[in-house]
Structure 1
Amino acid sequence: MWQRVVSNWNLMRIIRLGLGIMVIVQSIQFKEYWFVLIGFLLAGLALFDMGCASGACGVPPVQHRTATKSMEEIEYEEVGK
């Protein structure tokens, strides 16, 4: 767990952590304590490198199929009028 916290820091992760801390500080200043929970959530996700921003929500690329021989052998016939 500690290895996850101290490794793979990049600019986006630092920005997310900063925004989470900023939400915590602002919510305490304005006495909106429900937002402290949101700030802890944002900061925690950045601190532990979790959520979609860490690449966990990525969709694998589509692999296009090439035409096979069986597709070339398909025959069509016209429907009568």
Structure 2
Amino acid sequence: MKKLSLQSWNIFRVLRLVAGIAILVQAIIARDILFGIAGLWFTAMPLFNIGCCATGNCYTRTKKITEPEKEISYEEVV
């Protein structure tokens, strides 16, 4: 878990962490429990590198699969 939390930090992960902390601080100032839970969630996501695309769930293939070329025949329409 420690390795997962400390590796592969990028600017978007840092921005998500800052946004989560800002939500958490605002929840403390407003004394709003539901907002605090959302702040904890948005702070935990970048800390533990979880989310939609963090674990490679949105992976797309980079190698293009080529189909065998078919010969196309045309007929002249008169």
TM tier relative to shorter chain: 0.7 to 0.9
Sequence identity percentage: 30
TM normalised by structure 1 equals 0.71
TM-superposition CA deviations, 1:24-43 (whole Å, max 9, x none): 11011111110111111111
Cα displacement (A) at 1:44: 0.8
TM normalised by structure 2 equals 0.73
TM-superposition CA deviations, 1:12-60 (whole Å, max 9, x none): 1111011101101101111111011111111111001111352622333
Deviating runs (4+, > 6 A) in structure 1? 74-77
Q: Give the Cα–Cα distance (whole angstroms) in 2 for the partners of residues 45 and 36 of structure 1.
A: 14
Structure whose CA Rg is larger: 1
Q: Give the Cα–Cα distance (whole angstroms) in 2 for the partners of residues 9 and 49 of structure 1.
A: 9
- In structure 2, the gaps of 5 or more residues are none
Paired residues of 1:14 and 1:46 also in contact (CA < 8 A): yes
Q: 1:62 to 1:35 in 2, by over 3 A?
A: farther
Paired residues of 1:4 and 1:49 also in contact (CA < 8 A): yes
RMSD of the TM alignment (CA)? Answer: 2.4
